Structure 1
Amino acid sequence: WQDNVDVKWRDMSYDDAREYCNTMQLAGYDDWRLPKLSTLKRIVVSENYPMTIVNVFETSDSEYYWSVSSYQKKYAWMISFRDGSVEYYHKTDTNYVRCVRDYSPSQ
């Protein structure tokens, strides 16, 4: 998971978010991508109120974050790190992004 200041201060359109993740070079890795909605849901701690994301992240904001998961052609799913709500937004709207990469134990 990406955990730098960009997750709090960068909002962008869906296409820009995908490009941002696909070209990101962070922590010596260049295989970052925009996460699926199901992946984003796994880091929301729904037992807390207000809901939070897991506390391993140093940087976050309680806003909506893009997923790569589309709804129809012009929309994509997002999740709020404030309350865990899931919405779809037009892909030209701007929201936050937290990139992910696959992890293997040998890394």
Structure 2
Amino acid sequence: MSKIVFVLCFVFTIANTDQIRLDIKEVVLDTQRQLIWQDNSDCKKVKKTWKEAIEYCQNLDFFGYRDWRLPYIEELFYILDKTRIDVAINKSFQNVTSDDYWSSSDIYGGGIWMENEFCKWKR
């Protein structure tokens, strides 16, 4: 059985501060690591299997970029906020859920996802 998880895509950028939300653009900029995170309503409602999530990000045309991808599991930890209980994602993000999020990290043909601060693997 395939696990269906929420999709959170991002793309590389160049800048120099921390994680800030651009409300009008529906993105969160991580300027320390030079990442742009999608933060629109799709982040709460788009549920995909691992392979579908990879394809969704590869086909995403958003915020003027077309080179989106699923984050590596390590990159999901950049947005983790251990001080939060239900949704352990940085409060710069507005469109979050307490459900799981896929990473592009691959183990033996299956994906790894983040469930709050814990990583899990599913083939």
CA displacement, residues 15-54 of structure 1 (integer Å, 9 cap, x when unaligned):
1111100110111111111110000011111233346210
| Structure 2 counterpart of 1:67 | 103
Q: Which has the higher strand share?
A: 2
| Structure 2 counterpart of 1:105 | none
For residues 51 and 11 of structure 1, do their structure 2 counterparts lie closer, same or farther at Cα, with a shift above 3 Å needed? Answer: closer
Are 2:57 and 2:70, in contact at CA under 8 Å, matched by a contact in 1? yes
User: How far apart are residue 89 of structure 1 and its match?
Assistant: 1.5
Are 2:87 and 2:96, in contact at CA under 8 Å, matched by a contact in 1? no
Unaligned runs of 5+ in 2: 1-36
1:85 aligns with 2:118: yes
Question: Alignment RMSD, CA only?
Answer: 1.4
Give aligned-pair identity as a percent: 30
Q: Which has the higher contact order (CA 8 A, sep 6+)?
A: 1
Runs of 4+ in 1 over 6 A off after TM superposition: none
1:13 aligns with 2:46: no
Number of equivalent positions: 87
TM-score by length of 1: 0.74
Unaligned runs of 5+ in 1: 91-107
| Structure 2 counterpart of 1:49 | 85
Distance 1:33 1:58 in 2: 20
